Amino acid sequence: MIEATSDRHPAPTGFLARFVFSRDHKVIAKQFLGLGLAFLAVGGFMAMLIRWQMAHPEAPVPVVGRALFGASGGIISPAAYTSLFTMHGTIMIFFAVTPILIGAFGNFCIPLMIGARDMAFPTLNALSVWTMAAATGTLTASFFVPLGAPQAGWTAYATLSTAVGSPGLGQTLWVVAIYLNGVSSIMGAVNYITTIIRERAPGMTWFRLPLTVWGFLMTSILNALFVPVLAAGMVLLFFDRVFGTQFFIAGSTIKGGGDPILYQHLFWLFGHPEVYILILPAWGIVSDLLSFFARKPAYGYRVTVGTFVAVTALSSLVYGHHMFTTGMSPLLGESFMVLTMIISVPAVLLFLNWLGTLWRGAMHLDTPMLYCLGLVFTFGVGGLTGLFLADITADMYLHDTYFVVGHFHLIMAAAVLLAIFAGVHFWFPKMFGRMMSEPLGKLHFWLTIVTLNIVFGGQLLIGYAGMQRRLYDPSVYEFLRPLLPLNRIISNAAFVLGASQLIFVVNFFWSLARGHVAPQNPWEVGTLEWTVSSPPPHDNFDEIPVVAHGPHELGNPLVRERLGRDWLAQSDAADVLAPDEGTA
Amino acid sequence: MPIGPPRDASLDGHLVDGAFRYLTVATAICLAIVVLVMLVALLFHRQRGARVAHYTHGDRRRDHVLTLMVAIAMFLGIDAVLAGRSLGHLETRFWRYPDHDPNAVRVEVTARQWSWTFRLAGPDGRFGTRDDVVTLNELRVPTGRPIYLKLRSKDVIHSLYLPSFRTKIDAVPGLTTRLWFEAREAGHTELGCAQHCGVSHYKMHGDLYATPDADWRAWQQRAADDARLRFDAKSDTALEAWDWDQG
Amino acid sequence: MTSAALPDARRDAATATVGMTIFLGATTMLFAALFFAYAVMRAQAPAWPPAGQAPLPRGALGVNTLVLLAASLALRAARAAARRDALASARRRAWGALALGVGFLAAQVIVWRALVGAGVGPSSGIYGSVFFAISGLHALHVVGGLMALALVATFWTRGASAARRLGLCALYWDFVLVVWLLFYVGACLR
Ligand code: HEA
Ligand code: HEA
Ligand code: CUA
Ligand SMILES: [Cu+2]
């Protein structure tokens, strides 16, 4: 049941209560993190298999081929390849990035950053993680059922995803898994929004919220509003598959029937907000971190908040740009095109604020900052390629080619992934009480950023040359055969990229056990989570802090003069910045 | 080996290529500015010695006006120019279907897992007669005349992809979609399916042959004669005619 | 601005209401999407109800609507009683609301069976598809509300928290009622 808490509850004892069925937001964050990282590894492994097929069609996969694809002699079969990209996309979006970025960081940061003892509804929070676990279980089960894993792509377009195109239990389980995943997201969203509205510490006004929290707030609003639309689509698809309804199965002229395009409307009315659901937390994190590591306030804080709100408001109005080639009415298509282009205005403003934050700063190139700078670049390239796709004439050629794949990987698999790495490095000390290794982190960064750009930049080129996505064997097309060398280069870069991730894994576990013990405030910044010990005590704050300052009071000359440091905690006394003789 | 799209064989494909080229140049300039700013910051605005960051919240009116001006300039320079150009091309070219053009060649395209069927009217110019020419995974068109396609699907969604003509259009069960193009030069190009339609999506490949009109007419005559000979009234696809205005 | 200054109980009540409101916003979007699907299906059908399909039983569905309305009123009465600290009568009324809710579900099942008997089922065509999908999903939401209400009615202790929880139930119940009314008026009557 929904139950609000404000009073402190005693720290639970016993292993199960503390680590498994915990209602503590910090423990739940770690549960989401573990689950998400595990699935990130699975999804990444699948990407390696996809790249193997693009580089060496018809050749058995080395090492793991026999075990995974025994029936076809270690060669990836068309059916297996179809399942691979379907599950790669599904896992990465719903079961890797969503749990890590929103589940883990959202849970960990929101209460600590706003000065609350926990989420507003701790039980609901625990329920959310367990619903997510049930969803992952269902998804995993879909691999092992008769007629094989889901094969309709992560978008699961009807009619292909109905019983007409995909008989068998696998696709049904996929539908259930996505539905459960959505339920978990909605629970999280209700919790996050309520917590941010109701549980802010005294003095934590809306415009003193760290931008990270703003990112989570906007993401949660989109989750609460648009995941239900996906749920509706999944429910109808489920009914079509199981109860023989025909929402998405076209009828004949005599007998009225359903409409496959209706599915696309429902899916993308969710799907486009979803891409902003994934990017908004990343925007929030990078906006804060750029300021922290440039030792300079975030440039144009209020404008940045405004861009978050604008993008959130616009996000549902542009979804039709995924459907330009479905033969939609000209007026509708043109409106979607123009609206999509308008969304680039807030994006550019946000981008300029990032550059403004860096400009004339005193940058510390610690690992989290490196990831953030990488993010700025890859998001720039990825976002600008979005403009190509927004243009209907260009999209008629580029739609469903690797250009689209390159576009969204540059944002989701480069920018968002880098935000995840930045966040893990940045909050690791607060989460686990130890620092991650800087040398290993830097090595991982450089290997990752170089290979990422080769892989996803290469995909843009391949797409420009006309290669369709979801193509098991491009050599069927004569005009795609010359692309094989480039595909090989991309694949080799992807393998190096995949191997480099092992450095991150090593760094993660090594630091967990052996990292330097973290001080309370290793990065010397002022947001509230750094005013408590690392890791924070059970109830976060011995006493609820009183907030007197914004989150980015860095490099303020007055503070330097009076306190002798270049940062100011949000909960430092208000009179530090008093105009007259303040107390030092 | 240069990487790029296949040779443009169409009348209007250069409009697509033009949009792409404009975007490439414009976004490359933006990106160059971004990279330049970042490089300068990285080289000169680093923590070194006693360097102190410039303290500003960037929220003075001046800052807001500056960022807003850049954003608007970028919107006008890239998006607005492009929208103006593309909307015009859509209205006057791509979406102006040759409904009343007697010169247009009409084709009924049926997509199914995993093949394309093309039905052309015989020399009588009418669908649903014994001389309809039906080809599998092979589309023959004349150059210099608008080709007007209508598409339907028998099972799942497919998408007819003509890379050398810079265009594609979905074939959706329960709907009739349409597309038109014109071949500028004779020759062989490829057509394919762009929308994931199941395990053998990758095999849904075909050929497009464009020939000068006279040659094409000769072929059509031969094929129609053939069709008349082989006509089987009992086949349920023997006579199909969609919602063309057959006048 | 921030709510730290309020007394705990009122603070919790307000927080719970905020949470419930957001949750109902999400659920609204779910049904909005379903109604959108309904509208698309109906707009594309050549005739509605399609030729040869028995129309929906308006009368029986109207009776069910009244039952749902009665449940909602009973729940409001229960909350009012709880606010007055008249716990015994609040409990009676809550169980009454529960019984009415179960009655609504039973009556829906009767309608469903009659429809299937008349040849309109989930798989009989798009007409049956939309009716069964939306009324079925609505029924699931009723079941959820009933379970919550049963929990509240069984486990409550103090008057204040009973009133608060009954208030949340009543809010949810009103929502379920409005969704049904919209569906009944928009889909069954017209
Ligand atoms: C987090 C993910 C994310 C984000 C943020 C975006 C952002 C954008 N996307 Fe993308 N998109 C996806 C993920 C994302 N997308 C995915 C997953 C798909 C494919 C789904 C599928 O089919 O499987 C997709 C597909 C997709 C399509 C459909 C393509 C097709 O299928 O044919 C389109 C078309 O308009 C599009 C457009 C855009 C635009 C205009 C933006 C804009 O928001 C971008 C705005 C950003 C900028 C404009 C750049 C920033 C500004 C600068 C760098 C300026 C600097 C300049 C100076 C200083 C002068 N996207
Ligand atoms: C956030 C989402 C995300 C991410 C991160 C990625 C990451 C990658 N993707 Fe993926 N991709 C999608 C989302 C994503 N992708 C989607 C939505 C599709 C479309 C599917 C469809 O068509 O339906 C797609 C499709 C897709 C294709 C096209 C397939 C096709 O159309 O035929 C290709 C091909 O090259 C590809 C490649 C890659 C590669 C090389 C990576 C690399 O970046 C991977 C590198 C990462 C790793 C190797 C994992 C790292 C692991 C860790 C860091 C784990 C740490 C663990 C512990 C500490 C325990 N992806
Ligand atoms: Cu047909 Cu892909
Ligand atoms: Cu989109």
Residues 238-297 of A with CB under 8 A from B: 249-251, 257-261, 294-297
Residues of A in contact with C45 (CB under 8 A): 256
Distances (CA, A) of A27 to A18, A22, A147, A436, B52: 8, 7, 38, 19, 39
Closest C-alpha among A160, A487, A389 to residue B159:
A160
Q: Count the helix, strand and coil residues of chain C and give each as a percent rounded to the nearest 5.
A: 80, 0, 20
Closest C-alpha among A487, A443, A439 to residue A463:
A487
Cα–Cα dist A448/A418, whole Å: 9
Cα–Cα dist A314/A338, whole Å: 12
Q: Indicate the range of A71-75, A337-341, C73-77, C97-101 predicted with least confidence.
A: A71-75
The stretch B90-94 carries a mean pLDDT of 93
Closest C-alpha among C187, B241, C50 to residue A251:
C50
Where residue B115 falls (left for φ over 0; alpha for ψ -120 to 50; beta otherwise) is: beta
What is the DSSP code (8-state) at residue B45? S
What CA dihedral angle connects C135, C137, C143 and C148, to 10 degrees?
-130
Q: What's the pLDDT at A582?
A: 44
Locate the ligand 2 atom nearest the alpha carbon of residue A505 and give its number.
58
Give me chain C's average pLDDT, please: 87
What is the DSSP code (8-state) at residue C2? -
Determine if the peptide bond prior to A535 is cis (ω within 30°).
Answer: yes
B52 touches chain A (CB under 8 A): yes
Locate the ligand 1 atom nearest the alpha carbon of residue B70 and give its number.
59
Amino acid code (one letter) for C84: R
What CA dihedral angle connects B23, B25, B29 and B30, to 10 degrees?
10
Q: How far is the CA of A85 from the centre of ligand 2 (A)?
A: 9
Q: Residue A397: which of B46, B89, B166 has the nearest Cβ?
A: B166
Q: What's the pLDDT at A203?
A: 94
Q: Which two tokens stand for residue A34?
A: 């573990």
On whether the CB atoms of residues A282 and A270 are closer than 8 A, the answer is no
Residues of A in contact with B1 (CB under 8 A): 482, 485
Cα–Cα dist A413/B1, whole Å: 28
Cα–Cα dist C30/A366, whole Å: 44
pLDDT in tens, B96-133: 999 888 899 999 999 999 999 999 988 888 888 888 89
> Which of A409, A476, A511 for a ligand 2 pocket mutation test, highest count of atoms within 8 Å of Cβ?
A409
Determine if the peptide bond prior to C49 is cis (ω within 30°).
Answer: yes
Q: What's the pLDDT at C2?
A: 41
Give the closest-approach CA distance of C14 to chain A in angstroms.
9
pLDDT tens sequence for chain A (584 residues) = 344 444 456 666 676 666 677 889 999 999 999 999 999 999 999 999 999 999 998 888 988 888 888 788 889 999 999 999 999 999 999 999 999 999 999 999 999 999 999 999 999 999 999 999 999 999 999 988 877 789 999 999 998 999 888 888 999 999 999 999 999 999 999 999 999 999 999 999 999 999 999 999 999 999 999 999 999 999 999 999 999 888 998 876 556 678 999 999 999 999 999 999 999 999 999 999 999 999 999 999 999 999 999 999 999 999 999 999 999 999 999 999 999 999 999 999 999 999 999 999 999 999 999 999 999 999 999 999 999 999 999 999 999 999 999 999 999 999 999 999 999 999 999 999 999 999 999 999 999 999 999 999 999 999 999 999 999 999 999 999 999 999 999 999 999 999 999 999 999 999 999 999 999 999 999 999 999 999 999 889 989 999 999 999 999 999 998 998 889 999 998 888 887 654 44
Cα–Cα dist B121/B125, whole Å: 5
Residues of A in contact with B46 (CB under 8 A): 362-363, 365
Q: Could you tell me if the CB of B201 is within 6 A of ligand 3?
A: yes
> Which of B29, B34, B38, B86 for a ligand 1 pocket mutation test, highest count of atoms within 8 Å of Cβ?
B34
Cα–Cα dist B150/B108, whole Å: 5
| Residue in C closest to A228 by C-alpha | C30
DSSP secondary structure, A266-335, as one string: HHHHHHHHHHHHHHHHHHHHHHHHHHHHHTSPPTTHHHHHHHHHHHHHHGGGSGGGG-GGGT--HHHHHH
CB contact (8 A) between residue A228 and residue C29? yes
CB contact (8 A) between residue A6 and residue C12? yes
Q: Residue B136 phi/psi, 5° resolution?
A: -110, 125
Q: What's the pLDDT at A1?
A: 35
Give the closest-approach CA distance of A173 to chain B in angstroms.
18
Residues 6+ apart with CB under 8 A from A78: A472, A473, B199, B200, B202
C45 touches chain A (CB under 8 A): yes
Q: Residue A544: which of C4, C33, C50 has the nearest Cβ?
A: C4
Q: Which two tokens stand for residue A51?
A: 């790249």
Cα–Cα dist A194/A179, whole Å: 23
Residues of A in contact with B188 (CB under 8 A): none
Secondary structure (H, E, C), A198-223:
HCCCCCCCHHHCCHHHHHHHHHHHHH
| Residue in A closest to B40 by C-alpha | A359
Give the closest-approach CA distance of C97 to chain A in angstroms.
19
Sheet holding B167-171, edge to edge: B138-142, B206-211, B187-193, B158-162, B167-171
DSSP secondary structure, B137-165, as one string: SEEEEEBTSEEEEEEEESSS-EEEEEGGG
Number of helices (H), then strands (E), belonging to chain C: the values are 5, 0
Token match 């706003």: residue? A114
Q: Which two tokens stand for residue A423?
A: 């966040």
Q: Residue C25: which of A2, A225, A245 has the nearest Cβ?
A: A225
End-to-end CA distance of chain B: 51
Cα–Cα dist A560/A562, whole Å: 6
Looking at this predicted complex, what is its ipTM?
0.94
Cα–Cα dist A379/A376, whole Å: 5
Q: Which helix or strand (DSSP H or E) is residue B135 part of?
A: strand B133-136
Ligand nearest to the CA of A411: 1
Q: Which two tokens stand for residue B72?
A: 């608007």
Q: What's the pLDDT at A584?
A: 43
Of A240, A247, A277, A570, which to mutate for an interface test with C (greatest number of C Cβ within 10 Å)?
A247
Number of helices (H), then strands (E), belonging to chain B: the values are 4, 10
Closest C-alpha among A340, A344, A348, A345 to residue A395:
A340
What is the DSSP code (8-state) at residue A258? B
What is the DSSP code (8-state) at residue A363? B
Does pLDDT of B174 surpass 50? yes
Locate the ligand 2 atom nearest the alpha carbon of residue A452 and give its number.
43
Does pLDDT of B237 surpass 70? no
> Which of A378, A389, A403, A410 for a ligand 1 pocket mutation test, highest count of atoms within 8 Å of Cβ?
A389
Pocket around ligand 1 at a 6 A CB cut-off: A 155, 275, 278-279, 321-322, 340, 343-344, 347-348, 351-352, 380, 383-384, 386-387, 389-390, 395, 399, 404, 407-408, 411-412, 416; B 30, 33-34, 70, 74
| pTM, two decimal places | 0.95
Residue nearest ligand 1's atom 36 by CA: A386
> Which of B16, B25, B29, B30 for a ligand 1 pocket mutation test, highest count of atoms within 8 Å of Cβ?
B30
DSSP secondary structure, B5-39, as one string: PPPP-BSSHHHHHHHHHHHHHHHHHHHHHHHHHHH
On whether the CB atoms of residues A279 and A97 are closer than 8 A, the answer is no
Q: Is A145 exposed, middle or buried (0-12, 13-18, 19+ CB in 10 A)?
A: middle
pLDDT grade for B198, boundaries at 50, 70 and 90:
very high
Residues of C in contact with A5 (CB under 8 A): 12
Residues of C in contact with A186 (CB under 8 A): 23, 26
Q: What's the pLDDT at A22?
A: 85
Q: How far is the CA of B171 from the centre of ligand 3 (A)?
A: 9
Cα–Cα dist A403/A328, whole Å: 22
Exposed e or buried b per residue across A524-548, where buried means at least 16 C-beta atoms within 10 angstroms of its C-beta: ebbbbbbbbebbbebbbbeebbbbb
Q: What's the pLDDT at A6?
A: 44
Cα–Cα dist A432/B51, whole Å: 32
Of B79, B85, B159, B204, which to mutate for an interface test with A (greatest number of A Cβ within 10 Å)?
B79
Residues 6+ apart with CB under 8 A from A324: A333, A336, A337, A392, A395, A396, A399
